[in-house]
Amino acid sequence: MRPVRDALAWAEEAPGGDVGRVHDLFLTDAVADRHPELEHRADAAGVRVARVTEKAAAGLSDTVTPQGVVAVCTTVAVDLETALAGDPRLVTVLVGVADPGNAGTVIRTSDAAGADVVVLAGDAVDPHNGKCVRASMGSLFHVPLAAHRDVDAVLDGLRARGLTLLAADGHGDTVLDAGADDLLRAPTAWLFGSEAHGLDDATARRADHRVRVPIHGRAESLNLATAAAVCLYASARAHR
Amino acid sequence: MRPVRDALAWAEEAPGGDVGRVHDLFLTDAVADRHPELEHRADAAGVRVARVTEKAAAGLSDTVTPQGVVAVCTTVAVDLETALAGDPRLVTVLVGVADPGNAGTVIRTSDAAGADVVVLAGDAVDPHNGKCVRASMGSLFHVPLAAHRDVDAVLDGLRARGLTLLAADGHGDTVLDAGADDLLRAPTAWLFGSEAHGLDDATARRADHRVRVPIHGRAESLNLATAAAVCLYASARAHR
């Protein structure tokens, strides 16, 4: 339900645009009765609407407990150039992150922290994967998103925009505490690796700094989404 | 594998203690061959060791892909008084958090941020739930943990220890930014509600302050684990 509402909100705001445009809304009678505003909003935004059976809605969905409503959209990802236009000051780069739930959660967190762009670099999950869309809680429709297989090209593009590249690295030399505030004030692209393996060394070495979230207790590490939250909010604080 | 290693490490450090003590280690030949140190460490810590078949190991485990090694421990949770002994300066309180993965992740994050205690208050998940143990990545064995059904008694106990109670609340009046640093310097207990419903109003009202993580973009909220990471690391920074 939540991603559908966000897709419609996007359609209302940018009805002429082609990115993430809603083409069709399929919903069951039960959902239409419970949420009459959905059809009105879809109509107003020029979206085709069709009532379907529970069975058809379930067939269109990939979840175990389908919600009875499905929106068909064009993809939201844009090319790297387009995503990085407009002098971004905070960019999230997910390098080789294959888990859709993790990717969606980091997209949501990036949105919350005020990131301007999210880039999925390397061999990464398709952000349109249903699990990623749901974990993003609609943020997939809020933050410009690019997917690009060539990690080096992504790093070159970020650097050409004047962004400082910070690799999130549990063994990094730079500690993310009050001492890092000056560093964080610059426009920044954070590079995050996969949950299982972290950033590969070749990518981390191309960053300006390898930064670690301090571990004050006895945990070995944070998980990807929580580490990204701490890093991105540290930047948000320093930028304000 | 990871929780088993941590359980053994705990047994080695506190062989006389009864909390979280390992009684038995069951492992397959394959695991014993691959990790010969496991049996040596168990022997040294006075833990009974038995080789079992793959089928038996799977039967003892609750995961879809069993690891071939199972440790049987006494519970790790202690009573509230014991957990709060020793003047804690940073306490995590999960109020009515029923999802084991969320609870385990927040326990791991609390450990990383240097929290002294985690309290599961109200109608909460059993921290010994297998999914919670695994999500905690061993931190269940690092941080003193108490479970207590009476939320008011927990809040009274925390206040009696001189802790400032901060309710994490997306609609709170106090913003978690640089302006909150003075507030955060005090010994603090953070109260977090469930992913689905947040903190109930009665509990939030008993806190000294209702604190919100600022949302700089268009996301509606953060998820529980990422919000807790931002809050706990803000306290860790202010305490250092």
Is the distance from CB of A70 to CB of A60 less than 8 angstroms? yes
Instruction: Compute the CA torsion angle B45, B51, B57, B61 (nearest 10 deg).
Output: -10
Pull the structure tokens for residue B70.
């199972």
Asked if the A80-239 domain carries CATH number 1.10.645.10, the reply is no
Distances (CA, A) of B69 to A152, B55, B58, B134, B223: 41, 11, 9, 13, 32
pLDDT of residue A202: 95
Q: What is the pLDDT of residue B17?
A: 61
Burial of B47 (0-12, 13-18, 19+ CB in 10 A): buried
Q: Which residues in chain B are contacts of A216 at CB distance < 8 A?
A: 112-114, 236
Residue B200 buriedness (CB in 10 A; 0-12 / 13-18 / 19+) = middle
List of residues 6+ apart from A157 with CB closer than 8 A: A80, A81, A84
Cβ atoms within 10 Å of A65's Cβ, excluding its own: 7
CATH 3.30.1330 domain range(s) in chain A:
2-73
Q: What is the pLDDT of residues B192-207, one digit of tens each?
A: 999 888 999 999 999 9
State the CATH class of domain A2-73: alpha beta
Distance CA B58, CA B62 (A): 8
**Structure pTM?**
0.88
Q: In whole angstroms, what separates CA B70 from the centre of its chain?
A: 20
Please tell me the predicted confidence (pLDDT) of residue B77: 87
Closest by Cβ to B226, choosing from A138, A226, A237 = A226
Dist. CA B123–CA B134, nearest whole Å: 21
Instruction: Give me the residue from A109, A142, A178 closest to B222, CB to CB.
Output: A109
Give the count of beta carbons closer than 10 Å to the beta carbon of residue A41.
Answer: 20
What is the distance of C-alpha A107 from the center of its chain?
3
A196 to chain B, closest Cα gap in Å:
13
CATH 3.40.1280.10 boundaries in chain A: 80-239
Instruction: Check B233 against A230: CB less than 8 A apart.
Output: yes
B→A interface, C-beta within 8 Å = 105, 108-115, 137-139, 142-143, 177-178, 213-223, 225-230, 233, 236-237, 240
pLDDT of residue A17: 61
The rounded mean pLDDT for chain B is 92
Kindly write down the DSSP assignment for every residue of B67-126, as one continuous string: -SEEEEE----B-HHHHH-S--SEEEEEES---HHHHHHHHHHHHHTT-SEEEEESS---
Cβ contacts of B228 on chain A, cutoff 8 Å: 226
Counting as low any pLDDT under 50, the low residues of chain B are: 15
Residues of chain A with pLDDT under 50: 15
DSSP string for residues in A99-151: -HHHHHHHHHHHHHTT-SEEEEESS---TTSHHHHHHTTTGGGTS-EEEES-H
Q: Say yes or no for a CB contact (<8 Å) between B230 and A225.
A: no
Kindly list the distances between the CA atom of residue A11 and the CA atoms of A4, A6, A214, B2, in Å, as whole numbers in the listed order.
Answer: 10, 9, 42, 47
Q: What pLDDT is stored for residue B67 in this prediction? A: 86
Q: What residue in A sits closest to B230 (Cα-Cα)? A: A230
Cβ B108–A142 below 8 Å, yes or no? no
Query: What's the CA dihedral at B79, B81, B85, B87 to 10 degrees?
Result: 120
What contacts A84, CB < 8 A, 6 or more positions away? A91, A117, A146, A157, A158, A161
How do beta strands A90-95 and A117-121 pair? parallel
